[in-house]
Amino acid sequence: MNPPNEVNTNHGKSLIQEIYLIDPGAAQNDKLLEEIIGNSFGSASSSSTDPIIKVSEIAEKLISAPAMARSTYLVRGKFRMVDFHQSFHYVSCENCNKATGYDLGENFICYSCKNAAIARARCRVYLDVYDDTTSTPVVIFGSLAEEILGCTAVDLIDRTDEEHLPYIENIANNIENNEWIHSLGRADE
């Protein structure tokens, strides 16, 4: 499992650990879906794998969970892009992915990891995750954001002229065609 990514939501900080695209044809095959979850998160039996809950249940579960208790939950839903004019990238350390004030391509010593690095563009996207109950805002970073968007941070940077908005609108339309399984949780874990 990849390390979790911290995100800000309307309900405070949360984590996104893993997100998997569900093949729309396989989404109706519960046995295959259980196998996908089992391979990704451990055994697919109900005793060791949390059930997939509704987006509307996330805030309540995170608030009611004790501070040190495990609080990641599987959610099945889609993404929707609301802000087409957001900045889809930030400049970061190539080693630790922490944001930096250096210019793209510039060599520097990172304040966070203390290593020599080159400033790289890293993808960041603000989306809503939703199901048939409600939606909640999330922030997704790096290669996971690029997988969801279907393009890289560099692709987005390169399209800053008149083709930018139609390009982003096309990405937004494509995002809503895919259903995903999301693992969401608190940032304090």
- Separation of alpha carbons 79 and 2, rounded Å: 20
Higher pLDDT, 3 or 135: 135
Q: Read off the pLDDT band of 103 (50, 70, 90).
A: very high
Beta carbons of 80 and 130 less than 8 angstroms apart = yes
Q: How far apart are CA 137 and CA 128, in angstroms?
A: 4
Q: What is the pLDDT of residues 9-30, one digit of tens each?
A: 555 565 554 554 444 444 444 4
pLDDT of residue 72: 77
Q: Are 123 and 153 in contact (CB under 8 A)?
A: yes
22 in Cβ contact with 179 (< 8 Å): yes
